[in-house]
Structure 1
Amino acid sequence: MKTLTTIIFIIFLSFTAQAQNTTSEVKVETIEMSIVTETTNEVKTESTTEVARLYKFKNSRIKRDLNFITKANKPKMA
């Protein structure tokens, strides 16, 4: 009984999906753009200096977070 109602439901959905009105094709307006032949080179004289920090200690927070190890990676006694 359950399979019969499921098949009828699927057939009903397929008929309603086919009965939908299709929309007409929408025409898109195109824009013509010209090709630029002139190029200008800009040189930036400002330079920003970024600082990278190195941590001396083994247990520093950044290194510990980057060296992520889960408990599943640790060996277990059988």
Structure 2
Amino acid sequence: MKTIISIIFIIFLSFTAQAQNTTEEVKIETIEMTIVTETNYVLNLETKTEVARLYKSKNSRIKRDLNFVTKANSAKIA
């Protein structure tokens, strides 16, 4: 009984899917774009002064994260 109902349901869905009207044509508006042949390059020679921070304490978070040691780097005792 379950298989008969599922087959009827699948057939019903296939008929409803084929009954859709999708023959409507969609018109697309096109846009004309020109090709740019001239390019102007501007060179900016202004220098920016940036500040770098120096961490002096041993337990600094950045120094600790950058100087990590893996188990592969440790020496093995023979």
Q: TM-score band, normalised by the shorter chain? A: 0.5 to 0.7
Aligned pairs (5 A) from 1:48-59: 49=50, 55-57=62-64
Look up the match of 1:6.
Answer: 6
Aligned residues: 62
Look up the match of 2:45.
Answer: 45
TM-fit CA distance, 1:45: 3.3
Relative to structure 1, the CA distance from residue 56 to residue 7 in structure 2 (aligned partners, 3 Å threshold; closer, same or farther) is: same
Measure the CA separation in 1 of the matches of 2:67 and 2:36. Answer: 50
Relative to structure 1, the CA distance from residue 39 to residue 52 in structure 2 (aligned partners, 3 Å threshold; closer, same or farther) is: farther
Specify the structure having the higher radius of gyration (Cα).
2
Unaligned runs of at least 5 residues, structure 1? 65-78
Measure the CA separation in 2 of the matches of 1:53 and 1:23. Answer: 70
Unaligned runs of at least 5 residues, structure 2? 56-61, 69-78
TM-score by length of 2: 0.57
